[in-house]
A and B are shown apart, each in its own frame.
Chain A
Amino acid sequence: MNLPRRAFLAALAAVVGAPAAAQQPIAAAEARALVEGLIRDLSSVEQLTRPGPERDRALDSALGRYVALDRVGRFLLGASRQQATPAELAEYDRLVPGFILADVRGEIAKLVAQSIAIEEVQARSDREALVRSRFRRRAGGSVRVDWRVQRLADGSLRIVDVFVNGVSRFVIRRDEFQAVVRSGGMPALLALLRKGPGA
C-alpha cells in the first residue's frame, strides 16, 4: 500500500514525536508557568463566579486541565489495584476523577484567592520538578504550598501532587483508601467515592 509522503511523515512524527516530547527535560520556567497558569485560572473563576454548582464546575474544569487526574487516581489506589476485578477498576476509574477534584477544589481554591508568591523551582529529575510557593494569609502568617510537576508519557506537563506545609494530600488519601479496601474491599472504596470526600 502506497502512502502519500505527507501522510507518512505525519504518521512518523506521531510515532516518534510523542516519546521525544516525553523525554524532554522539564525547564524550570515551564513548570513555573504551569503552576502560574493554574493559579491564574482558579483565581479568575473565584473572582468571576459566585459560590455554588456553577463555580464548582468551573473550578473542576480548570483543575482538570492542570492536574494529572488519571495518574493521581492510579496513585491513590496503589497496590489495591491488584485485588480489584476489571469491573471494579472500570468503576473506580470512572468515579475517582470527580472525587479528586472535589477533594482539592475547596482547599486549593481557598488558598489561591489569597496572595501568592512562587519562590523557586527545584528540579527533582529530568521529568519532575517541585514548584515552591508561599501563600500569605489575610489573617496573617503564611502557608507553604509546593506543587509536584511531572512530564507525563504523552509529553504533557501536569501537577501530580500538592504539599501544604509539606503534607501530601494524596499520600494521606492513599493511606485512607488502603484502609478502606483492607476493611471492606473494593466495594467499600467505590461506595466512598460515590459519597465524595466529605463523607
Chain B
Amino acid sequence: MHAPAEPDRIARAVRDVGAAAARRPRWVLALAVLGALLAGLVAARNLAVDTDSTRMLSPELPHRQRELALNAAFPGLNNRFVVLVEAPDGDSADLFLERLVAAIGRHPEALAQPFAASLDPFFRRNGLLYRDDAELDSLLARLSRAGPLLATLAAEPRLEAYFAALAEGVVDADRIAGGEAALARALAETDRTIRARLAGPSRPLPFSALFEPEGEVRRVLTVVPRLDFTRFQPAGPARAALEAAIREARAAPGAGEVEVFVTGDPAMRSEELRSVTQGLGLALGVSLLAVGALFALAFRRLALAGVALLVVVVALTATAAFASLAFDALNLVSMAFAVLLTGLGADYAIHLILRLREPGADWPQAACDLGPALLLCALTTSLGFLAFVPTPFVGMAQLGVIGAFGVFAAFVAAVLIVPAGVALVGAHPPLPPRPAPSARAGRMAAWGVLALVAAAALLVPHARFEADPMALRDPDAPSVRAFDLLFDQKETRPYVASVLVRDPARAEELARRLERSPLVERVVTPERLLPGPEAEFRREAIEAVAAGLLPQLEAGEPPIPTEDGLNRLRAALAAHPRPGGAALAEALRQLEARAATDPTLLRDLERDVLFHWPATLARLRTSLAPDPEPRLADLPAPLLERYRNARGDLRVEVVPRADLRDHRARAAFVAEVRRVAPDAAGPVVNLEESGAVVARAMVTATLLALLACGLTLLVLTRDLPGTLATLAPVLAAVVLTVGASALLKVPFNYANVIALPMLLGAGIDSAIHMAARARGGPAAALSSSTPRAVVFSAFTTIAAFGSLMLSAHRGVASIGALLLVALSATTICTLALQPAALALVRRVRRAAEPAR
C-alpha cells in the first residue's frame, strides 16, 4: 500500500497529543480515572432498558403500522400474564383456580381482571356446548350410566352411601357407575384416597376423574398486570404479587398435586431482561478479566496491562454515559455494547503498547507508524457499526451509533492514556523481534485457508435467518418453558393472526374464506364465540341426559339402599373381580382394622371422599342446563373484549393448524392468511414480516459496510490493488462465517445480524495494520510487532465476544458465538491470505512497470 498523503497530518496530530499527555502522565491518568468515575455515575443514573423487541423496527414499516393499529384497538391483547395450571384431575385444577382468583383479588394494586373460562358462570352453564362432539357423547354416556351412583350421593352425601353405591356399581358398572372404565377409575381413586388417609395426609377424591378422559388436566387463567414504568422491571411488582397469590392458593388445604406455570409477554419480558442483564454482567466481568490476562501475556508486564485496561474502562464508561444521554432506553441488543467495546477498545492499546516495546521504539515514531492506521481502523469499525443506520432496523442502528462512539472513545483514550502510562511505568525491556514465517509455510497456510473458504462457500446457501424472538430467549426460563407448553394444545397455541374489521358480516365472510384453507385450524370472530348451529347436536344430547339425570339428583331419595355400605362394597369386590378391586378390598380391610382403634378415621375419610362432591354436584346441575339462546352480551367481558372493543372494532382471529415454531409452517401460514386478508396483523404476522425486514437489513448493512470500508480505504490510500488485497481476506472471512453459521446451526437472528457488518468493519482492522506495516514488504510486516498485536487484538476481541456465550439468553449468546466465529475467521484469513494477496499485488505491479 502506498504511503498516503493525508495520514501525515493525522500522524502529527496523534504524535503531538500523545506527547503532550506523556509530559504530564500523572495528571492525565488521574483525570482519566476521575472521568471514568463521573461517566459511570451518569450512566448508572440514566440508563434504562426497553425489552419490547417489536420496537426495534421502524414504526413506519407497513406491517408495523398494522400491528400498531391492532394494539391500539385491542391494547390488552398481549399484555397479560398467562397462568397454566396442571393437575391430575379437573376438581383439583378448578379448586386451585378458584383460590388463585380469590388470592389475586387481594392484590388489586398489582393485578386485575383474572379470567379463567372454567370458572366463569357463562362457561359453567354452556361449556358442554363447546366440547368436541365425540368427546361430549362419551362424557354424556358415562354420566348417564352413573346416574344411580350420583343420585345416591346427592340424596345422602355420606361415606356409607358412597360405598353402597360403589358396591352396586361393582355388580353392574354399566347401569350404576358410568361403565367399566369409569368404575375402574372410581375404584383406583377410592383406593388412593383411603391409602392416603391411612398414611396420614388428606387426598380428596376427584369425582371429575370418573367422567373425564384419563390424563392430566390443564386450565388457563389470564390476569392483567399493572405495570410500573418507573422501575427497571415494570412488571416486577405484578409478578411478585402473582407469585404471592400462587403461594397463597397452594397453601390452602386440599390443594393437591397442582403444577403452576406463568408465561405471557410481561412474564417473559421481565425474565428476559433479568437473563440478559445477568448474562451481560457475567460476560462483562469475564471479558474484563480475560482481556486483562491477555494484556499481561501480550505485554509481559502487569503495569502495562493496567494502562491498557484503563483505556478500556475509560472508553466503556464514556460510551455508557453517551448511550444513557443520547437514548431514552437501550434495547436488548444495544445493551451488548459494553462487552463488544471491551474487545474492540482493547485493540488500540495493544497496537500502541506493543509498537512501543519494539527495540529502539519511541512515542513519536510509534505515533507516526500507527496513528493513521489506528484512526483508519476506528473509522472502518465505526462504519461497520453504523451500517444498520440507513435500514429500518432501528434497534440495531442504536447499537451502531453507540458502538461507533465507543470505538472513537477507545481510540482517543488510547492516544492519551498509553503514552502517559508508558511515560510513567516505562516500556522496557523491548520485546525481541520474531522471525517471519517461511515463505513455504505462508503458501501452505494460504492454500489451506482458501480450501476452507471454498468448502464454506458450498454451505452458504444453507444459512438461514431465525425470525422467532422466542428462539433467542433462555430456554430454561420458567416463562419460556411455560410458553412452549401452550403449543401442546391447539386451543392455547399463541401464534395467531388477526384481522381488524368493522362489520360483523365482513368478519363472517372473511372467516369463511380463511377457514377454507387447510393451513387454518379455526377462525374466531365475536359472533363465533357463541355456540354455533353445530352445537344443536350437542344440545340435544345434553338435554337427553339432563332429562334422565336431573330428576334423579333432585329426588331427595337414594335409588340404592345406603346402609352397611362398607361391608357391601367388600362383599361385592369379593364376588365380582374388577380391575383395581383387589387393591381396594385390601385398603378397605386395613381401614376397617384401623377404624376399630381410631374413632375419627372414618369421619376424616368421609371428609376426603366428599371434599369435592358439593362443587361437583353444583357443576353437574349447572352444566346440564345450558342457556336456550346464548347472546353476545352473555359472554364474559374479559373474553369478548379481546374480539370486540368499545368502538365497535372487531378482531378476526386466525388460528393455525400446524405448530408455527417451525419456520416453514410459519411462512406458509402467514403467506396464506395475507393472500386472503392482506391487512392481517398479530404476533405471527409481525414475527414473520419483521424477520424478513431484518434479514434484508442484514444484507443491506453488510453491503453498505463493505462499500463504506472499501471506499474509505481507497480514498485514504488511493491504492486500488492494495485496497482489494486488504478487502480480500475480509470477504473470505464473510464466506467462512456464513458457512460456519450453517454448519454449526447457529442461524442469524435479530441479535447476531450485527456480526457480518462488524466483521467487515472490525475485521478489516487487522488487514489495515498489516498493510500499513508492509510498506517495506510482507516479510517486514510479519517480523514487526504488528502480527503479535493482530493476534492479541484478535484474542482479546474473541475473549470478550466469546464471553457473551456464557449468557443464558440465546440471543446474546448467539451474538458471542457468531462474532467469535467471525473474528476468528478474519484473523486466520488476514494472517494467511493477506501476505499472499499483497505479494500478488507487488508481482502484478512489477510485471506492469516495464510495460509502462
Contacts and interface: CB of A to CB of B under 8 A. Distances in A.
Interface of A: 75, 78-82, 122, 124, 128, 130, 132, 144, 146, 148, 160-161, 163-168, 170-172, 174-175, 178-179, 182
Nearest to B535: A79
A171 B148 CA distance: 16
Nearest to A141: B561
A148 to B, nearest CB: 5
Contact of B133 (A79, A130, A146, A148): A79
Contacts of B140: 171, 175
A178 B548 CA distance: 21
B547 A161 contact: yes
B540 A75 contact: yes
A174 B538 CA distance: 11
A161 B140 CA distance: 14
B144 interface: yes
Given A165-B147, A165-B148, A75 B133 contact: no
B542 to A, nearest CB: 10
Given A166-B151, A172-B145, A178 B137 contact: yes
Interface string B126-140: 000000011001101
B551 A168 contact: no
Contacts of B552: 166
B540 A172 contact: no
A178 B134 contact: yes
B548 A163 contact: yes
A166 B541 contact: no
B133 A78 contact: yes
29 contacts: A75-B541, A79-B134, A79-B534, A79-B537, A79-B538, A80-B133, A82-B534, A124-B547, A146-B548, A161-B547, A163-B144, A163-B547, A165-B147, A165-B148, A165-B175, A165-B176, A166-B552, A167-B147, A167-B174, A167-B548, A168-B144, A168-B544, A168-B545, A171-B544, A174-B137, A175-B138, A175-B140, A175-B141, A179-B134
Max chain B C-beta neighbours (<10 A), residue from A81, A82, A130, A166? A166
B721 interface: no
B551 A132 contact: yes
A130 B550 CA distance: 11
Contacts of A168: 144, 544-545, 547-548
Given A144-B559, A161-B547, A172 B144 contact: yes
B551 A175 contact: no
Contacts of A167: 144-145, 147-148, 174-175, 548
Interface string B679-713: 00000000000000000000000000000000000
Max chain B C-beta neighbours (<10 A), residue from A75, A144, A148, A161? A144
Given A82-B534, A165-B148, 6 more contacts: A75-B540, A79-B537, A163-B144, A166-B549, A168-B544, A179-B134
A132 B548 CA distance: 10
A104 to B, nearest CB: 15
Contact of A171 (B174, B175, B176, B545): B545
Interface string B141-169: 10011011001000000000000000000
A82 B536 CA distance: 12
B537 A78 contact: yes
Contact of A166 (B141, B537, B559): B559
A23 B174 CA distance: 37
A124 B545 CA distance: 13
Contact of B548 (A80, A81, A166, A182): A166
A124 B546 CA distance: 10
A171 to B, nearest CB: 5
Contact of A174 (B141, B147, B547, B549): B141
A143 B783 CA distance: 107
Across the A-B interface, give the 6 residue pairs with the lowest CB-CB distance, nearest first: A166-B147, A175-B141, A163-B548, A79-B133, A79-B537, A175-B137
A130 B544 contact: no
A166 B174 CA distance: 12
A83 to B, nearest CB: 10
Nearest to A149: B547
A168 B144 CA distance: 6
